[in-house]
Amino acid sequence: MECDKKYITIQQLEQHNKAGDLWVSINGKVYNVSDWSKYHPGGETPLLNLAGKDVTDAFTAYHPTTAWQYLNKFFTGYRLKDYEVSEVSKDYRNIIHEFTKAGMFENKGHTAVFTLTSVAAMFGFVFYGVLCCNSLWVHLCSAMVLGMAWIQSAYIGHDSGHYIVMSGHGWNKFVQLITGNCLTGISIAWWKWTHNAHHIACNSLDYDPDLQHIPVFAVSSRLFNSMAAMEARDVNNSGVSKNLLWEAVTIHG
């Protein structure tokens, strides 16, 4: 019954916005994921960035429909008293509904297969041009084709890292390994973690991994303050090189 429901305000929800005290709202229902956040398959960073907020649109965008069944065990019993859906969110959800109804999110796989075939053909041309020809012009042409092959490989690696582009999970992982680890030379698992966190915490100095360019350069002096917090000392006034300290924390820590 409506009279038996318990409510909290958005301001009260916002108070639970840190590690160890992390609440979120989905469709007006409040969930406590404080103890579970470190086990979140997408990493703890997205949850920390959205702590104390309504995450309905983010949850819908980044989770399959099967994820809804796991929410009840985190339900606090509270609902948001002043919960309202913005016009932008309404439009966004309508678009998702229409695209889903039209089958635009179905795993067809043919586009990825065509792209991989073209990439294989381009790499075959490059190997032949470099190993079997002595012409400077052929080598220059091979270099351009190699660049095009890497671009297409990066596209399919990017898309397969976001969602299933093949007919099944196994083939999708295979595409990720080929385009990421083999052709591009990066760990696809590392890339998926940082890039998906980037989309959730876009341009957040605290939680966006794609803003962490140290030791090349720092986009904000606040990054040094974050380092000081991790090391429990004032990095700004210490004699330790900030770049070396950051490298030690991120690579060897």
- Model pLDDT, residue 214: 65
- Model pLDDT, residue 143: 95
Task: Show the tokens assigned to 113.
Answer: 């297969």
Q: What is 2-101's CATH number? A: 3.10.120.10
DSSP code, position 207: T
> Mean pLDDT in the chain?
81
Three-class secondary structure assignment of 1-13: CHHHCEEECHHHH
Q: Residue 30: which H helix or E strand, with range?
A: strand 29-32
Counting every residue written for the chain, the total comes to 253
Distance, in Å, from the CA atom of 42 to the CA atom of 58, rounded to the nearest integer, reads 12
- Model pLDDT, residue 149: 92
Assess whether pLDDT exceeds 90 at residue 100: no
Nearest to 107 by CA among 175, 149, 163: 163
Using DSSP, state whether 122 is helix, strand or coil: helix
Long-range pairs for 82-91 at CB < 8 Å and ≥24 separation?
82/9, 82/10, 83/10, 83/25, 83/28, 83/54, 85/56, 89/56, 89/57
Distance, in Å, from the CA atom of 92 to the CA atom of 17, rounded to the nearest integer, reads 25
Range with top average pLDDT, 4-18, 115-129, 157-171: 115-129
Nearest to 33 by CA among 22, 41, 48: 22
Q: Residues near 133 by Cβ (< 8 Å), separated by ≥ 6?
A: 139
Question: How far is the first Cα of the chain from the last one, in angstroms, to the nearest whole number?
Answer: 52
Stretch among 153-162, 176-185, 214-223 having the lowest mean pLDDT:
214-223
Which residue would you say has higher pLDDT here, 66 or 145? Answer: 145
Assess whether pLDDT exceeds 90 at residue 181: no
Which residue would you say has higher pLDDT here, 111 or 225? Answer: 111
Residue 113 CB: number of other CB atoms within 10 A?
16
Long-range pairs for 207-210 at CB < 8 Å and ≥24 separation?
207/45, 207/46, 207/48, 207/49, 209/45
Distance, in Å, from the CA atom of 76 to the CA atom of 147, rounded to the nearest integer, reads 52
Distance, in Å, from the CA atom of 78 to the CA atom of 28, rounded to the nearest integer, reads 9
- Model pLDDT, residue 142: 95
User: What number is the average pLDDT over the span 117-137?
Assistant: 93
- Model pLDDT, residue 107: 66
- The predicted model scores a pTM of 0.65
Task: Show the tokens assigned to 10.
Answer: 């958005």
Assess whether pLDDT exceeds 70 at residue 236: no
- Domain residue ranges in the chain: 2-101, 110-199, 212-252
User: What number is the average pLDDT over the span 138-144?
Assistant: 95
Q: Residues near 5 by Cβ (< 8 Å), separated by ≥ 6?
A: 79
Structural contact between residues 42 and 63, judged by C-beta atoms closer than 8 angstroms: no
Stretch among 56-60, 62-66, 162-166, 234-238 having the lowest mean pLDDT:
234-238
Q: What percent of the chain has pLDDT over 90?
A: 32
Which residue would you say has higher pLDDT here, 140 or 227? Answer: 140
Q: Residues near 214 by Cβ (< 8 Å), separated by ≥ 6?
A: 223, 242, 243, 246, 247
- pLDDT-based confidence at residue 251 (cuts at 50, 70, 90): very low
pLDDT digits (tens, 9 = 90+) for 191-219: 888 888 888 878 777 777 777 776 667 77
